[in-house]
Chains A and B, each alone.
Chain A
Amino acid sequence: MSVEELAFLALAAVAVGTALLSLLVRELVHTILWVSVFFVSLSAIYFLLSAPFLGVLQLGVYAGAVTILLLFGVMVTRKRIFSKEVATGIGPFPFALAVVAMVILALAAASLPQPVTVVRGYDVTLLSAQLFQVDGAWLVLLGCVMLSALAGAIYLVREGRE
């Protein structure tokens, strides 16, 4: 087993563990801290997959902006930000069912033929040419969606609306 495979397995374990923890802990602030660790581990996986631009984007947008936005949402909607949720967690029967399903799926995945494929990296200049020349329409579309989302968000939170 190569170093890359070991690193991938460790990062995948961290990603799955923190994703589960973020949905199972009782304090909302702890949830957001765990989910930020989840985003960072995914960004490390992107670096491992030779996609450094996406790794940096994941760090900036998710681990930075989205985490802060979520924290802001928690801070403005409750009086005591460390108060606990009423009903979180998972019952013993669904948990056992999930574990059994996981084991069956893992065994099925392990029984498949395992073609080990070489990961290829792309130059960032190539990616930017693709983004702004070939797939430029997608970026324009994203800009339009973001603009209308901005207008919608302002409409939703504006003062004096009945």
Chain B
Amino acid sequence: MTELSVASLLFLSGTLLAIGLFGILTRRNFILLLIAVEIAMNAAILNFVYFAAFAGTSSGLSGQAIAVVLVGLAATEIAVGLAIVLALNRQRGSINVGEATTLKL
């Protein structure tokens, strides 16, 4: 039977969230921005999975079900993000978010 301490797991997901936030705040390339968002989102999904692993049957199963839904949502977000990247690249010739200063793509 696997035994793990909660503090180390929480520390891991907190660190991953911090790395994702660092990327969101500092990177200017849209694709890098998307990757940073994915890293932060994976930290959240990790939280759901390991609290599910420590909880009782019914609430634990709910945690895993929410994690499945979140994985789908993250994939959807990447698809829409890449559509925005393509539109931005066609309109401006670059995918630097600093150059996208108007709402009209």
Residues in chain A within 8 A of chain B (CB atoms)? 2, 4-5, 8-9, 12, 15-16, 19-20, 22-23, 28, 31-32, 35, 38-39, 42, 45-46, 48-51, 53-54, 57-58, 61-62, 65-66, 69-70, 72-74, 76-77, 85, 87-88, 90, 98, 102, 105-106, 109-110, 112, 114-122, 126-127, 130-131, 134-135, 138-139, 141-142, 145-146, 149-150, 152-154, 156-157
Contact = CB atoms under 8 A, between A and B. Distances in A.
What does DSSP make chain B's interface, helix, strand, loop or mixed? helix
B83 A51 contact: no
A115 B86 contact: no
Contacts, number: 213
A88 B96 CA distance: 13
A19 B71 CA distance: 18
A146 to B, nearest CB: 5
Nearest to A131: B65
Interface in B25-83: 26-29, 31-32, 34-36, 38-39, 42, 46, 49-50, 52-54, 57, 60-62, 64-69, 71-80, 82-83
Given A54-B71, A74-B31, A117-B54, A19 B16 contact: yes
Q: For the complex of A and B, list the 7 residue pairs with the smallest distance between their C-beta atoms, beginning with the closest.
A: A153-B83, A156-B83, A130-B61, A119-B2, A23-B23, A135-B65, A49-B53
B35 A31 contact: yes
Contacts of A146: 72, 76
A152 B5 contact: no
A150 B27 CA distance: 27
B4 interface: yes
A45 B11 CA distance: 14
Nearest to A32: B35
Contacts of B29: 28, 85
